[in-house]
Structure 1
C-alpha cells in the first residue's frame, strides 16, 4: 500500500515574503516472502509541474524526507524497516545518521565511477549498523566495488522476461545479499520472483485479486456484510444494532475496548452501544464499526496493508471533501474509500460484492469502474499511491482542491489510520489481520 504526505520547506523570496514549496512523500510497503510487511519505501516528489522528482537540490529533498519521516509513527515503528534514497552528496554528508541504524535502509544508485570518499562513506555506514541497498542492480562487473558493500540488491522487474530476471538472480548469487523485486504488479510476477530466490517484494500486486474465480461469499463474510446494512442508517436502530453486535463476542469485546480507550476520552466507562452513541454521537461510532467489520473481512494472506489502505483511503477522501468545500459528500466518499479494495479482499469481481452492501448508486458505479462525479476522487487516491503526482495535481485542479490541501488530508489520514490499527494491535482479543 502507498501512503503520501507533504512537508513544507520555507524559501525566502525577493519580495520579502516566505513562500512554501510543497514536497510530497509517498510510502509503499515492502513485503517479505510470507507477505508480512517488512518495511516501507519512502518516495518523494516536488509539487511543481514536473512529472518526475525534480529538485534544484536533491540533497535538500533528502534532508526534508529524513527530517519528517518520524512524523509517520507506523513507518518508523521499531519492527519495520524504512528505505530511503540517498544521493551521493547526502551519503558523504552523513545525512542517514539522523535516523536509527537498526531500521534504516540506505538506498543508493549504482554509480559509473564512484570516488573513494563515497565508497568510504558507504563502508562507514555499514560499520555503524545501517543496511545498504543498491538500486536498479545491473550485474555490471565494473561496479563490483559497490556490490561488495551492499546488503540488498533492488531489481526493477516490471516488463522483464523470466530469462533476464533469472540471469540477474544468478549473478547476484556470488554476493551475500538479499534480492528486492520492485514494481511487482501481479501475482504471476510475484511467484516467478519467489521461485528465482527473491526475498523482498515491492509493488501493487497486493491490491489486485489473485484470481477472479467464481468463489462464493462465506457465511462469516455474509454475516459481516449484513451488519453493514444495519449500521448504514443516519440514525441508529438500537434493537437491531444491539442484537447484531452482541451475537458476536469478538466484535463486542473489541468495540467496547476501543470505546473505553484514550482515543475517545469518555469520563466514565462505556458499557453499551447506546451509551456510546449518546456520549460520542452516531457518526464516529459508525465509522469505527465500519472499520472493525472491514478488518474482519481481510484474509491474513493479503496482509494488514489492504485493511490499512482501505481505512486510510476512506479518511483521506472524507477530509479532502471537507477541504474542497464539499462537506455534503464527505460521508459518501468515506464509504467509497473504505470499500474501494473489496475486489482483492474477497478475491472476486467488484460487481459480485457491491450488491450485498447498502451503497448509493453513484458509489456502486464508481467502484465498478464507471465514470461519474465520484470517479475523480478515487482516481486521486490511486494517483497518490502510485507516486503519480502529475496526475494528482491535475485531479486536484479538476476537483477544486489545492495540492497542499490534498497532501494535508493524506497526512491526517495516515495518523488517523495509525490510531485505529495501533489500538487493534494492542487489543489481545482482536482479530489478527
Structure 2
C-alpha cells in the first residue's frame, strides 16, 4: 500500500501572523518531494486533512493550501471541501489549455481561491495571472537583486503575491522590502546573524532566564525563588498550570506548590514555554514549532524504546523544545547551549545531534525538511501527527495565558 502522510508549513503575512498552512505530501518517492502521481497525492492530502484527521486538527481552522494537478481538479477532488477552507495551488506542470482556463473560472465561480505555485520569470502560465487570486514566486529561481522587479512584474489589482522557499531572515527582509504580501519557508526557524553588540534586550532576557532554569545543578527551591521573583512570569506560569496545561487537576496558588507538583524538569519546560511565548519580535508560530518538535521527540522515543524511563522522556521533550532557541535568540545553537550550561547529553543532542536524543532530533528535523528515506519517514509520520495534535492544544493554552508576557 502506498505510504500516505503529510506535514505542514505555515504561511505568514507581513505582520508574521499565520494565515494558512500548506499541506505537504509525504509518500513513496525516489528522492525528496518526488511525487510520482500528482493526482494520487492530491487525493491523499485531502483525505488525510479533511476526513481522517479533521481540518481543525490539521490546520486549526485556517485555510489549507493544497497542491493540485489539472487531472485531480477534473476528477472532482475539490468537491469534498468547503471553498473557504482551502487554497488550491496549480503546479508548475500545469499547461494552459482552454480546459484548464475553464476549470479555473469554474472554481472561482464556486468560491475557491486559486494560486499559481512555483512561479518563475518567463513562466508559461503567465496568462493565468489575471484569473487567479494568488501567485507564489519561487525565490531560488529569481536572480539575486531581482525580487522587487519580479514582484512588480506580476502585480495585478486584487492579486496577492507570496514569496516562497525563504530560508533565512535576510531573505525574508528582502521579500518584505520588495513588497510581497505573504511569506513561506523555514526562515522563521533560523537565527538572524547578529553581532554581539546587536543582541536585543529581549534576547538577553530570554537567555538570562533560561540560563538559570536550565542549570544542571539547579534545585527545586532555587527554581521556585527564580520564578517567584518575577511577578509577571510567576503570574503567567500559575495561569498556565491552572488552565490544565500541565495535567494538574487541583488549584495551585503558589509557584512553590507548582514546582512540588510538577517536579523540576516539567517546571523547567513550562517556564521555557512561557518565556518563548512572551518573546518579542518573533512569530508565535515558532513556539508552536518548538512544541511540535518536543512532542514528536517523546513520541519517537516511545516508539523506539517503549520502556524508556520518565527522566529520558522529559529530556527528549526538553531537547525538542530548546531546538529553536537559536532562532529565538538569533545566536548560534552552540553558543546558546554553552550559555545555558546544559547537561552533556542535551548539549551533544542539540549541537552535534549525537546520542539517542541527538538521533531523534535529527529525525524530527529531517521529517520537517523532507529529507528522510521512505521507511524512516513513514515511521516518523505517526509521531508527527500525534505531536501536532498535542502541540496545538498546549500552545493555544500558553498563548492565551501568557498574553502580555515581556521576554
Give the TM-score of the pair, scaled to structure 1. Answer: 0.80
| 8 Å Cα contact 1:92/1:118 also seen in 2 | no
For structure 1, the 5+ residue unaligned runs are: 1-19, 397-402
Q: Call closer, same or farther: CA 1:107–1:365 in 2, change over 3 Å.
A: same
In the TM superposition, residue 178 of structure 1 has moved relative to its aligned partner by: 1.7
Partner of 2:237: 255
Partner of 1:43: 24
Q: Call closer, same or farther: CA 1:31–1:261 in 2, change over 3 Å.
A: same
Partner of 2:47: 67
Measured on the aligned residues, the alpha-carbon RMSD in Å equals 3.2
**Using the alignment, how far apart are the partners of 1:89 and 1:118 within structure 2?**
10
Alignment of 1:425 with 2:386, yes or no, is no
**Using the alignment, how far apart are the partners of 2:370 and 2:220 within structure 1?**
43
Corresponding pairs, count: 398
Partner of 1:28: 9
**Using the alignment, how far apart are the partners of 1:89 and 1:188 within structure 2?**
38
Q: Call closer, same or farther: CA 1:429–1:373 in 2, change over 3 Å.
A: closer
**Using the alignment, how far apart are the partners of 1:365 and 1:252 within structure 2?**
31
In the TM superposition, residue 353 of structure 1 has moved relative to its aligned partner by: 2.1
In the TM superposition, residue 430 of structure 1 has moved relative to its aligned partner by: 5.1
Partner of 1:344: 327
Instruction: Map 1:152-191 onto structure 2 (within 5 A).
Output: 152-158=134-140, 160-162=142-144, 164-174=146-156, 176-191=158-173
Give deviations 1:7-49, integer Å, cap 9, x for gaps.
xxxxxxxxxxxxx533231211112223222221111021455
Q: Call closer, same or farther: CA 1:174–1:140 in 2, change over 3 Å.
A: farther
Give deviations 1:55-77, integer Å, cap 9, x for gaps.
4x433332221132253636533
Partner of 1:108: 90
| 8 Å Cα contact 1:45/1:53 also seen in 2 | no
In the TM superposition, residue 307 of structure 1 has moved relative to its aligned partner by: 1.7
| 8 Å Cα contact 1:92/1:117 also seen in 2 | no
1:123 to 100, 105, 108: 105
Q: Call closer, same or farther: CA 1:378–1:172 in 2, change over 3 Å.
A: same
- Where 1:133 maps in the other structure, the secondary structure is strand
Q: Call closer, same or farther: CA 1:432–1:39 in 2, change over 3 Å.
A: farther
In the TM superposition, residue 106 of structure 1 has moved relative to its aligned partner by: 0.8
Alignment of 1:225 with 2:210, yes or no, is yes
Q: Call closer, same or farther: CA 1:131–1:330 in 2, change over 3 Å.
A: same
